[in-house]
């Protein structure tokens, strides 16, 4: 999860917590419920309902009064059994070894009941929203009828991540093949196929117009190169290739095109 944001150069912080296991969570749940009874007057309507059914979720509530009400709530980390405590310590140790920066967030619980021990979220610094979230779910497979299989996973909020991506992974240059005149179309098609065979991104201009109009179209489509094929080019088995960023234009035969420019 951290690699996803790192590769995409998104400023984000990894928050981690442990929410214990079957052994240690019941005692915590009880302590939390008792605490929530005391601050019930400050909880929102949803949390009034949650505090009896799923008190951990109250810790997750975004309503400001609820946030302040749970500030001094008992923390799961103080209730972890021996096994969970050791597991959590190991997790933090491994994160340090791997150089993954994190902050411990004792109120991080995740909304889903099936999580055990580790839960985590990756939060965007820019927007303050969670973009990736996950954790362990050691009993889930079993509860669904499978053989006991401890597991870990996470989900990525693709729209949120897309919104935060500033720099797209390297874009492949676009070649726009421009035939001049109807007779050159078949040759232009051949050039397109040759370029595609080399793994290039290629567009063929379908505009039957003069060079100027077609170059305008190439610019509109954000092409990087115009590959111009006129009568002369067709006779010579060559192309004129124009760099649309620099305006530089050279004529190359097909062999040169593939060995030199590409």
The CA-CA-CA angle for residues 49, 109, 161, to 5°, reads: 110
The size of the interface with Zn ion (CB under 5 A), counted in residues, is: 11
Pick from 23, 27, 92, 250: which binds Zn ion (CB under 5 A)?
23
Q: Which is nearer to Zn ion, 58 or 218 (CB)?
A: 58
Q: Least separation, in Å, of the C-beta of 47 and Zn ion?
A: 3
Distance CA 43, CA 144 (A): 34
Q: Least separation, in Å, of the C-beta of 138 and Zn ion?
A: 10
DSSP β-bridge partners for residue 250: 241
Pick from 5, 47, 108, 123: which binds Zn ion (CB under 5 A)?
47
Segment lying near Zn ion (by CB under 5 A), choices 6-14, 41-49, 155-163, 193-201: 41-49
Q: Least separation, in Å, of the C-beta of 134 and Zn ion?
A: 19
Q: Least separation, in Å, of the C-beta of 109 and Zn ion?
A: 13
Distance CA 244, CA 235 (A): 24
* CA 116 to chain CA mean position, Å: 24
Pick from 24, 119, 244, 257: which binds Zn ion (CB under 5 A)?
24
Pick from 21, 133, 229, 234: which binds Zn ion (CB under 5 A)?
21
- Is 191 a binding residue for Zn ion by CB under 5 A? The answer is no
Distance CA 114, CA 245 (A): 54
Pick from 4, 8, 44, 100: which binds Zn ion (CB under 5 A)?
44
Q: Which is nearer to Zn ion, 42 or 251 (CB)?
A: 42
**Smallest Cα–Cα separation from 31: which of 68, 103, 80?**
80
Distance CA 251, CA 132 (A): 50
The percent of the chain in helix, strand and coil, each rounded to the nearest 5, is 45, 20, 35
Segment lying near Zn ion (by CB under 5 A), choices 53-61, 139-147, 149-157, 162-170: 53-61
Q: Least separation, in Å, of the C-beta of 173 and Zn ion?
A: 52
Q: Least separation, in Å, of the C-beta of 85 and Zn ion?
A: 8
**Smallest Cα–Cα separation from 125: which of 103, 154, 152, 108?**
103
2 to 15, 36, 113, 131: CA distances (angstroms): 11, 34, 24, 11
Q: Interaction with Zn ion in 54-93: which residues (CB under 5 A)? A: 61, 63, 66, 81, 84
Segment lying near Zn ion (by CB under 5 A), choices 22-30, 118-126, 136-144, 249-257: 22-30
Please report how many Cα atoms fall inside a 13 Å half-sphere around the Cα of residue 111, on the Cβ side.
6
Residues that bind Zn ion (CB under 5 A): 20-21, 23-24, 44, 47, 61, 63, 66, 81, 84
């Amino acid at each position: 999860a951290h690699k996803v944001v790192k590769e995409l150069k998104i400023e984000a912080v990894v928050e981690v917590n442990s929410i214990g296991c079957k052994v240690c969570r019941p005692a915590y749940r009880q302590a939390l419920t008792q605490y929530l009874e005391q601050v019930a007057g400050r909880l929102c309507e949803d949390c009034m309902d949650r505090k009896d059914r799923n008190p951990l979720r109250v810790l997750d509530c975004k309503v400001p009064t609820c946030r302040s009400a749970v500030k001094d709530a008992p923390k799961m980390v103080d209730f972890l059994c021996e096994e969970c405590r050791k597991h959590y310590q190991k997790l933090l140790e491994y994160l340090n070894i791997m150089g993954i920066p994190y902050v411990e967030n004792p109120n991080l619980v995740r909304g889903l009941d099936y999580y055990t021990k580790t839960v985590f979220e990756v939060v965007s610094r820019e927007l303050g929203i969670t973009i990736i979230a996950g954790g362990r779910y050691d009993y889930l497979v079993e509860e669904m009828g499978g053989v006991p299989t401890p597991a870990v996973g996470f989900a990525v909020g693709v729209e949120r991540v897309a919104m935060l991506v500033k720099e797209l992974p390297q874009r492949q240059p676009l070649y726009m093949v421009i035939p001049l005149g109807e007779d050159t179309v078949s040759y232009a098609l051949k050039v397109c196929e040759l370029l595609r065979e080399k793994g290039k991104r290629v567009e063929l201009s379908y505009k039957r117009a003069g060079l100027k109009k077609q170059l305008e179209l190439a610019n509109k489509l954000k092409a990087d190169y115009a590959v111009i094929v006129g009568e002369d080019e067709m006779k010579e088995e060559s192309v004129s290739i124009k760099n649309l960023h620099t305006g530089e234009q050279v004529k190359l035969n097909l062999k040169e095109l593939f060995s030199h420019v590409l």
